[in-house]
A and B are shown apart, each in its own frame.
Chain A
Amino acid sequence: MPERTHGAGSLIAAIGVTIALAVALGCGTPRAQEIPNGQDYEQIERGRYLVLIADCAACHTADPSKPLAGGRPIETPFGTLLAPNITPDQDTGIGNWSDDEFDAALRRGVLPDGKRLYPAMPYSYYTRMSRSDVTAMRAYLATLRPVRNPVQSDQLPFPLSVRSVMVVWDALYFSPGVYRPDPKQSTSWNRGAYLVLGPGHCGACHTPKTLMGGDKNRDALEGYNLQGWFAPSITNDAAQGIGRWSADDLVAYLKTGHNRFSAAGGPMGEEVQDSSSQWSLEDLRSVALYLKNPHGEAPAGAGSTTAAAAAATPATGTPLAANDARMVAGANIYSDLCSACHAPDGTGVAYLIPNLAGSPNIAQRDPTTLIRVILQGARSVATREEPTDPMMPTFGWQLTDDEIAAVTTYIRNSFGHAAGAVNASEVHSARESLRPGASD
């Protein structure tokens, strides 16, 4: 899996590659007109919702008793970044910042002293937010309890510690500018596009990166390996993306962490728990509408047909032959260990045990997540609507690299998938990288 060799590019690239995704997803509500700087309830409430949508807390809260006071370490192979304190503390937070300074940081990646932010802060997405949304977030943050918590954010070694190198990166990968609605599409579609491309910054995790750590925009949302997980493709492709899901399936997944096919775990589980489970249903429907129709809505009435057709489309390519030695062994292992939960035909149990035919984590070009989940188990997210919190047991103590490769290969070439074989050396590297103490 060549995708996982991300140390090869320039040092700057490495920063971008490994860090960009650590940040949770962003958000925003576009308003036709800017609201003046009043500290009114409506603005603060909107700001609260935006901070929630942006999941600022994912990085900026280390201690739950000190929300947004910073200090959460974001580890990279090159050092650790600590998310700064964004409470209104005058000395150690952002209490002294003006609205303009806040806006510059959020939408241009520039600090009040002129230094550049690292793209761990997803300003390249937030730049698409409206000024009004940014101001509302600022208004909400100003209402928080100030927490004195000095954070030395930047702990990278020289020369990465020289933030001015980010100027180069910005020149290459940062295109500032607010989201421009497509007048041919509905309000809901535009809202979805705004959330995904802007404050939601889905691509920070799901879009492949260049060697320099910038988004490969032509491959937007086609999946990306970060922090030992493969954030799967969320394009509308039936083989690798979410093409087999309906818009309702997507909404259920984002709202509850579960749908009839799959469950959110790992970093996406955290995202669901801390952020998307609390988005409004209307916003989630907009996101689903956009992700199912990224190039624009189909003519009226044709949308569902398109989705159904996509779901029925078999995987392109040919699965490994059933008599392939790896497939035979994998089928035996599957029957003995997996079928008791995932069912002999891979269908699982809706909303409880993932359906291996419909889970996007199975047939990705990069099997990192599948291998990881088999090796060390996983927990799915518990939400108010889906409180069950089912967990995948760990098989790492039991199965050899060869056996995990076999069962992974079997699963990736069964149930309608044709995703190629996984070899034991890939399992071996994954096992090594997940050892306690091993860095991601």
Chain B
Amino acid sequence: MARKLPRKDVVIIGLGWTGSIMANELTDAGLQVVAIERGPWRNTATNFAPNYAQDELRYRIRHELFLRPAQTSFSFRNKTSETALPIRNWGAFMPPNGVGGGGVHWNAETWRFLPSDFVLKTHLTQRYGAKFLPNDMTIQDWGVTYDELEPHYDAFEYLCGTSGTAGNLRGQIQPGGNPFEGPRSRPYPTPAQRQGYSHTLFAQAAASLGYKPFPQPSGNLSQAYTNPLGVRMGPCTYCGFCEWFGCANYSKASPQTTLLPVLVRKPNFTARDLSEVTRINLDASGKRTTGVTFIDTSGDEWEQPADLVILAAYTIFNVRLLLLSGIGAAYDPVANKGVVGRNFTHQTISNIVSFFDPEKFNFNNFMSSGSIGMCIDEFNGDNFDHGPVGFVGGGYMGQVQTNARPIQGTKVPPGTPQWGAKWKQAVREHYLSTVNPGTGVHGSMYSYRDVYLDLDPTYTDHLGLPLTRITMDFHDNEIKQNAFLTDKFAEIFQAMGAQQMSKQYRKAPYDITDYQTTHLCGGAIMGTDPKTSATNRYLQSWDVPNLFVTGASSFPQNAGYNPTGTLCALAYWSAKAIREQYLKNPGPLVHA
């Protein structure tokens, strides 16, 4: 039997980015808040210090900071006709674990989505007609607009100190920035990061082809910064150990470097680490949550009663807790009914490794940051006419190389042996003159009827609870999109002077072993219709109004950008609705 803890006003499940933002906003409103985190507490100086954080084997290859699959994993299949098998070791994406969540080990690429992304279905239908979209594509409008989110994007960027060059300031296009971005109310809080040689050459090549390159918006800061909460950050040192790693010198925006120091000082905030929420409890009516049940690492079970529950775990775990708790109708792809698990998406990523003349080019790409890079946005979203190309969606592309760590960063030109003397000499000759952007083409993935999440009938986690089952494959629209974008990307490297290129198009079937990004989205999406969304536009559960579900699980489909800026803006947007509307009159904020 679970032992009952004293009641709190709010319990937050997961202390990553959105959990921290929610905790800060709701404690500011005077509420008693407890955050329950599955993983351990992590601090900069004690968990990723500058004298051992830079360990590629430990953190990148052996996944030190991530969830252990032995604790819980997912099962995966491409098609509903197949038997899903468990993911035994992480591959395509890396579920975070511990305080700070993905905010600890992200690259800090801090993008905004395009205004048209939020009204995607309406926009595409108006421009191209409904028949232009594939039959089984299930894209939706979000129920919130860019203009509504703009102040919250701004709040998040100023929390993080994001380094960048504005492209659209209150409607005025700015030189050097992204001319396609939505209007922003203020410039970035800090100037863009400095760029390495390969990033700079890429921008020159892109400009020579008529594109408008701009620096990637970066949560690795170009200079020291003090955020509105009074928390100080240092300047990024271009160490090349960003994604998969914790930042050792307070220069990457994370809950640790922007929020937690203030949060822990508040008398109305407490956190519990190493405690895994197993259920969101409902009262007899099933329409109201009474709190959560969790199990700590000693195996003790506890009940934390609360008036308001914020579900702020990683995308798939948000969906899983809803399914395990029986909140919202589980999605059924055959009947095309139900909401929890539908519109699950990832990202459509590809890469080109380019080899340059070692006599002429020395890129030193080991000096880098997580969100360094020069990008173009000409082929993102609906920034170009899709009529002639026969697909929808797009992405940014750029030389966004974050590192040249040698276990993974020693590439050899096509045709070179993978071992032996020739391999060794090729590695030696090409290491400093190779350009390997990683997620160089960062494309959207739109939603489809047969890409979804549910509970696995066979495989269970360490507690005996069913794993979440992923059913996912790439569809022709995304494959076409990627081929188009990858070829455009290659033209830029050609102009840059590459001698050889290894083009790695994204192709079906979706491969769970091949790292793409950790940008899994959807499954508990926001929207305007309870029949096709799990939450309303304020991230409030349609079924249980004292439950809010934050994070990328709310994205109806994924855009061609990294999701963190948007999911954090949504957290601020939702917190504002709770503070200004819900607390005055607890109940549904939108009546269906």
Contact = CB atoms under 8 A, between A and B. Distances in A.
- The reply, when asked whether chain A contacts chain B directly with Cβ atoms under 8 A, is yes
Interface of A: 337, 339-341, 349-353, 377, 379, 382, 384-395, 398
Given A349-B224, A352-B234, A395-B51, A390 B250 contact: yes
A388 B257 CA distance: 8
Given A352-B234, A387-B262, A340 B248 contact: yes
A389 B264 CA distance: 11
Contacts of B265: 382, 384, 387
Tell me the dominant secondary structure on chain A's binding face.
loop
Nearest to B237: A340
Contact of A392 (B45, B229, B232): B45
A217 to B, nearest CB: 39
A353 B43 CA distance: 16
Given A350-B224, A352-B250, A387 B230 contact: yes
Contact of B49 (A349, A350, A353, A393): A393
Nearest to B229: A387
B50 interface: yes
A226 B265 CA distance: 30
A385 to B, nearest CB: 7
Interface string B230-242: 1111110101000
A387 B257 CA distance: 11
A337 B53 CA distance: 11
Contacts of B43: 391
| B interface SS class | loop
What are the 10 tightest A-B residue pairs by CB atom distance, in nearest-first order? A393-B49, A391-B45, A352-B232, A349-B234, A393-B45, A388-B232, A341-B249, A340-B50, A387-B261, A349-B224
B44 interface: yes
B585 interface: no
Nearest to B50: A340
A339 B235 CA distance: 12
Contact of A341 (B50, B229, B261): B50
Given A337-B50, A341-B249, A382-B261, A391 B230 contact: no
10 contacts: A340-B248, A341-B50, A341-B234, A341-B250, A352-B224, A352-B232, A352-B250, A353-B250, A393-B45, A393-B50
B419 interface: no
A390 B230 contact: no
B234 A387 contact: no
Contacts of B237: 339-340
Contacts of B45: 377, 379, 390-393
Nearest to A388: B232
Contacts of A392: 45
Nearest to A385: B230
B269 to A, nearest CB: 13
Contacts of B261: 382, 387-389
Of A339, A349, A350, A391, most B-chain CB atoms within 10 Å: A349
Contacts of B248: 340-341, 393
Given A340-B237, A387-B265, A393 B51 contact: yes
B285 interface: no
B126 interface: no
Contacts of B51: 337, 393, 395, 398
A386 B51 CA distance: 26
Interface string B212-232: 000000000000101001111
B230 A349 contact: no
B232 A340 contact: no
Contacts of A382: 261, 265
Given A382-B261, A387-B261, A389-B261, A394 B49 contact: yes
B81 interface: no
A391 B232 contact: no
A388 B259 CA distance: 9
Contacts of A388: 230-232, 250, 261
A340 B49 contact: no
Contacts of A351: 226, 232
Nearest to B227: A388
B298 interface: no
B354 to A, nearest CB: 30
Contact of B46 (A340, A349, A391, A395): A391
Nearest to B235: A349
Contact of B249 (A340, A350, A377, A394): A340
Contact of A393 (B46, B224, B231, B235): B46
Interface string B4-26: 00000000000000000000000
Interface string B366-410: 000000000000000000000000000000000000000000000
Nearest to B47: A393
A390 B232 CA distance: 9
B253 to A, nearest CB: 13
A350 B235 CA distance: 11
Contacts of A389: 261
Contacts of A352: 224, 232-234, 250
| Most chain B Cβ neighbours within 10 Å, of A379, A384, A389 | A389
Contacts of A337: 50-51
A341 B262 CA distance: 22
Given A352-B224, A388-B261, A391-B46, 14 more contacts: A337-B50, A340-B248, A341-B248, A351-B226, A353-B234, A384-B265, A386-B232, A387-B262, A388-B250, A390-B232, A391-B43, A391-B45, A392-B45, A398-B51
Contact of B232 (A339, A349, A377): A349
A3 to B, nearest CB: 29
A398 B50 CA distance: 12
Contacts of B224: 349-350, 352
Nearest to B263: A387
A395 B237 CA distance: 20
Contacts of A350: 224
Interface in B42-79: 43-46, 49-52
B157 to A, nearest CB: 19
B298 to A, nearest CB: 25
